[in-house]
Chains A and B, each alone.
Chain A
Amino acid sequence: MIAEARSLQASTRARRAHIRLAGLAAAALAAALAAPCVAQAQRGGRFPGGAMRSLGDPNSFYTPPDFHGNPPYDGRFTFARIKYRGFGRWSGREGPGWAHDYPDADVHFMKIVREVTAMRPFVAAGPIVGGAIVALDDPELFKYPVAYLSEPGGWFPNATEASALARYLRKGGFLIIDDFPAFDWNTMEAAMTRVLPDLRPVRMTGKEPIFDSFYKADINRVSSEYGMNQGFYAWYENNDPTKRLYAVACYNNDIGEAWQWSGRGFVSVDVSNEAFKLGINFLVYALTH
């Protein structure tokens, strides 16, 4: 157990170092990469060349080692993690960005949801733990009207995926975008603009009902491993904050990381508490509004 914890800690440190390096690189190359990044996404990675290709087919999906299939649909709330093609935001053992924190974050979050709320979500059944992993162009996605997307910095949806997600959101789906530093904003925003061309992200003030749907959450108390200036952005129907909320993005933030490490002491109780409070608020809001 100790060895495993050390290994995980080392993995996290390596990842943070990677983030810092990538941040510097991104700051320098942001303008140069902004235009071609979408085209590169079709090939499966943000970084051109062979670095990502060496990990496998950039148009295929990575399979996390702890993934043993999706639980059969039974109507219960099931945490749905979005997967995207390629290996963008690769991080050693955790794989590409979309799989970061899986499955611990998913399992811990669902356990907390089960314990704290009146919900009875899927938590685990045999080797299947945490929830489901679905691609945007998978019809199964429509069975999970609340979905979670990690590390949108590596997310470059193709036309089919963008169209499917747009349908999903307009029909009633709700998307939580998490775990991306400031320098991935442009990538994320470009992807979301591709999905919902008419909508623009709106910075949230913290007074929105979503932050008071279960807990009275103070967004200023949410700490981020990515540093300062963290915040929350929302996409509203017709860009009207009084209308339906399609998606929320945890800008410069990573609440999934806090879920993941909540059980191991690598993240303080306060931090993980705030992360869980936010997550629960997101769920309760999405299920009642």
Chain B
Amino acid sequence: MGAIFELLFKYRPAVFEQGEFAFGAPVPVMIVVVLAAAVAVPALVTYFRVRGKSGPRDRAILTALRVAALLVLVACLFRPMLLLSEAVPRRNFIGVLLDDSRSMRIADRNGRSRADFVRDTLGAESKLLARLRERFQVRIFRFGASSARADSAGALAFEQRDTRLVDAVDGARQDLEAVPLSGIVVVTDGADNSMTPVNDALLALRARGVPVFTVGVGSERFSRDIEVQRVEAPRRLLKGGTLVADVIVRQSGFDGATVPLIVEDNGQIVARSDITLQKGSDASPVRVTARLSQPGPRLLTFRIPLQEREQVTENNAQQVLVEVRNDRAKILYIEGEPRYEVRFLRAAVQADSNLQVVLLQRTADGKFLRLNVDSGDELASGFPTTRTELYRYRGVILGNIEAAFFTHDQLAMLADFVSVRGGGLVQLGGRRAFSEGGYAGTPLADAMPVVVEGPAVPDSLTFFADMKPALTPAGLGHAVTQIGAGKVTAAEKWAALPPVTSVNRIKRIKPGAVVLVAGSVPSGGRAGSPGENMFRYEQPVVVYQRYGRGLAVAVPVQDDWQWKMGAEVAEDDASFDTFWRQMLRWVTSDTPTRVEARAMPDQVNPRTPIQLRAEVSDSAFEPVNSAKVSAVAIAPSGARQDVALDWSVDQDGEYGGTFTPSEEGVYRVRVTAATASGEVADTTFVRAAPLDAEYTMAEMRRPFLQRVADETGGRFYTPATVGTLPEDIAMTKRGVTVVSQKDLWDMPVIFLALVGLISAEWGYRKMRGLA
């Protein structure tokens, strides 16, 4: 297409884009106009006088054709031209950045690698480089994790494990800032895995008027490949907990294929499931679960075994670092009535050394039974009355207890426990819970995932419904609902559980709430308030919502202990126990401590800087900006590296610092914050190892490269179009330039237009018999 354009219009489209149109005729315009009129008017008059066999339509057409031909000629007399600012040969500089990363080794160009293109096209002997050097002083850089000057493409080894494209472009710009710079050429596949925001870098380039010419190497879509693109997994988990990870799998050429997805914990297989790759889908999410019982930092590998004839063999696995904590989540269970739920829930978690359920059981008005407390003082005055006291717990279970039991402040505290402290709240069903317990209009109502409305309901008017539980689509892969064992899936297990009953009518859930287990009235079941018989009724059995920093869960049934005790439940069935252990682990797994340490990213190539972040709060979980925060990074060899963390100013309570791991392996980073209310600490883990991030999304990223070029005033090229690069850069108006004139009157298209018009007139005459 471009060649045809150039054949007809003499120049490439880029010339027309860059040039300014002008007329170069030396004769004054008025004279030309008069001459044109002198020619045109007699012609028109002649045409209109001649009658003969011609009609008015014939005369009009012939006149138009003749006038058009004359106008073309007159236009040519004006000497139309393009004025172009072209770089003065060899007075300007260009930076040529060559991608030296490992992804350039991928052979997706008819069996040849991307690196081959770079060597062939920009090697020391290449024509393109020679043409560039005819016009510019060329400075070659190679880039990957870092960038450096290079003599030619021959110096590239394509070994680097990171591509920091944006950093490299910015670095080259700074390097060439003192010289007249016409532009920067980037030859890459577009894989940028730096942490630098692209928008900021593009803004800087645009502000300095440096056009970036991007050359995209590689295919935009592999013909046959499976890639484990991303794994979303919690970074922390309680020992023995169920890890739920969302794995994004991309494929091309494997529509509908079933492949195994294997999860390994430090080399040991902990989960395996067969997944079917969706037809016509570029990327499909897969949810996998695995139980982790070994404490400490666990390196989990999610991999799909290499399939036949895959184009890229290095992108079938992703690794994530998960910290399995062996600490004890302390949970306060406040129960308003001695009832079976207490007995069975406590029994379910009793053997779990990572959960401590402290029971505050109201046995009579003003009389409480405390169980599992750490000291005689704990809860001695009943339910906590201060935030400091309540926030010692990571979770709260609200049993069958009416809202009126609490003061307004305590209810507000409970809501803050979820939203501010980030704790987990689980509310159980019962005659004194939810709407029936008078929670409508209380500060806690906002935190609940279900809508509570109306006044408290007396016992005699309590709603009642038999509920058969079933997993919802959201619940299928959720950490809480994974009660399956062996070959029995969670869905099958839930379907086999006995019905339960509810005395809490749930009419609506909150807009952001997610139902994990839904209940419906089974055949022959009852539902309705006294005097009412509902034939169909459904309500959530397990529903949750995020509320602020924490989680609020509602289990509005009164006897889920039937899942343990029911006659049809096998004696060794652990569904109920597993459900509650997972529930309590889940709601407390992300509960923040007073100092929360985090590394970004938590896996890097050796000698790559890592950002450390710490959020520090006081005992009421209010951010603290005056803490003295420091960290010590302990290398696998035991070497210690101190890191100072400073308040980030941007955000209350956030502190940041940087450290660079020098060894390979897992670093233990302990962050300590000294606050007015004492010293608090947290530990996080960082892994330094050669990573294969280069092969993630390794197809050529045309949209990204196109955007970089467009936003900086450059152009995007493929190997097929890169031949015009030297001329295009020359027209960028950057650096030392000279204005050149490009005549347009001799364009072949002008000649063709004249011949066409005259031929059309002649042909029309012949057709109408006027010749």
Contacts and interface: CB of A to CB of B under 8 A. Distances in A.
Given A120-B431, A171-B569, A172-B565, A145 B364 contact: no
A172 B564 CA distance: 8
Contacts of B253: none
B365 interface: yes
Contacts of A171: 564-565, 569, 571
A77 B571 contact: no
A288 B565 contact: no
Interface stretch (A41-49, A51-59, A220-228, A279-287): A279-287
A140 B371 CA distance: 30
B338 A284 contact: yes
A244 B347 contact: yes
A118 B336 CA distance: 7
A117 B339 CA distance: 11
A167 B346 CA distance: 19
B565 A173 contact: yes
A172 B363 contact: no
A143 B500 CA distance: 11
A34 interface: no
A74 B459 CA distance: 11
B565 A287 contact: no
B762 interface: no
Nearest to B336: A118
A171 B570 CA distance: 9
A171 B348 CA distance: 11
Contacts of B316: none
Interface in B353-383: 359, 361-365, 367, 369, 371
B337 to A, nearest CB: 5
A167 B571 CA distance: 7
Interface residues of A, number: 29
B559 to A, nearest CB: 5
Interface in B455-480: 459, 464
Given A172-B564, A288-B371, A117 B338 contact: yes
Contacts of A75: 464, 501, 503, 558-559
Given A74-B464, A170-B571, A289-B346, A142 B339 contact: no
Contacts of A284: 338, 363, 369
B220 to A, nearest CB: 61
Contacts of B340: 77, 145, 287
A214 interface: yes
Contacts of B367: 118, 214
B154 interface: no
A142 B565 contact: yes
Contact of B342 (A170, A173, A244, A288): A288
Interface in B317-365: 336-340, 342-344, 346-347, 359, 361-365
Contacts of B359: 288
Nearest to B362: A118
Contacts of A287: 338-340, 342-343
B569 A118 contact: no
A91 B382 CA distance: 49
| Contact residues of B: prevailing secondary structure | mixed
B611 to A, nearest CB: 49
Contacts of A140: 567
Interface string B550-580: 0000000011011011111101000000000
Contacts of A288: 338, 342-343, 346, 359, 361, 369, 371
A288 B337 CA distance: 10
Interface in A129-170: 139-143, 145, 167, 170
A214 B366 CA distance: 12
Interface string A247-278: 00000000000000000000000000000000
Contacts of B337: 118-120
Contacts of B569: 171
A32 interface: no
A116 B371 CA distance: 21
Contacts of A214: 363-364, 367, 369
Q: Name the interface size band of chain B.
A: 35 or more
A187 interface: no
A140 B568 CA distance: 11
Contacts of A289: 343, 346, 371
Contact of B339 (A119, A143, A172): A119
A118 B431 contact: no
A72 B168 CA distance: 76
Nearest to A120: B459
A172 B344 contact: yes
Contacts of B339: 77, 119, 287
A73 B346 CA distance: 23
A145 B343 contact: yes
B521 to A, nearest CB: 15
A167 B572 CA distance: 10
A104 B643 CA distance: 75
A214 B564 CA distance: 26
A116 B337 CA distance: 12
Nearest to A73: B501
A75 B499 CA distance: 12
B338 A145 contact: no
Contacts of A74: 464, 501, 503
A261 B339 CA distance: 27
Interface in B720-738: none
Given A75-B558, A289-B346, A117 B501 contact: no
B565 A145 contact: yes
Contacts of B566: 142
Contacts of A170: 571
Residue of B344, B359, B459, B565 with most partner-chain A CB within 10 A: B565
A119 B336 CA distance: 9
Nearest to A141: B567
Contacts of B501: 73-75
A143 B568 CA distance: 11
A188 B398 CA distance: 41
A140 B498 CA distance: 13
A111 to B, nearest CB: 15
Nearest to A170: B571
A234 to B, nearest CB: 16
Nearest to B365: A118
Contacts of B361: 288
Contacts of B342: 287-288
Contacts of B503: 74-75
Nearest to A75: B558
A211 to B, nearest CB: 13
B438 to A, nearest CB: 16
Residue of B337, B361, B562 with most partner-chain A CB within 10 A: B337
Nearest to B361: A288
A126 to B, nearest CB: 13
A95 to B, nearest CB: 27
A139 B559 CA distance: 16
Contacts of A139: 567-568
Contacts of A283: 338
Residue of B338, B339, B564 with most partner-chain A CB within 10 A: B338
B349 to A, nearest CB: 13
B620 to A, nearest CB: 31
A172 B347 contact: yes
Contacts of A116: 364
B472 to A, nearest CB: 24
A258 B368 CA distance: 27
Contacts of B571: 167, 170-171
7 contacts: A117-B364, A142-B567, A143-B562, A171-B565, A213-B369, A287-B340, A288-B369
Given A118-B367, A145-B561, 6 more contacts: A74-B464, A77-B340, A116-B364, A118-B365, A213-B369, A214-B367
Closest 10 CB pairs of A and B: A139-B567, A287-B338, A142-B567, A75-B558, A118-B337, A117-B364, A75-B559, A118-B362, A284-B338, A75-B501
Interface of A: 73-75, 77, 116-120, 139-143, 145, 167, 170-173, 213-214, 244, 283-284, 286-289
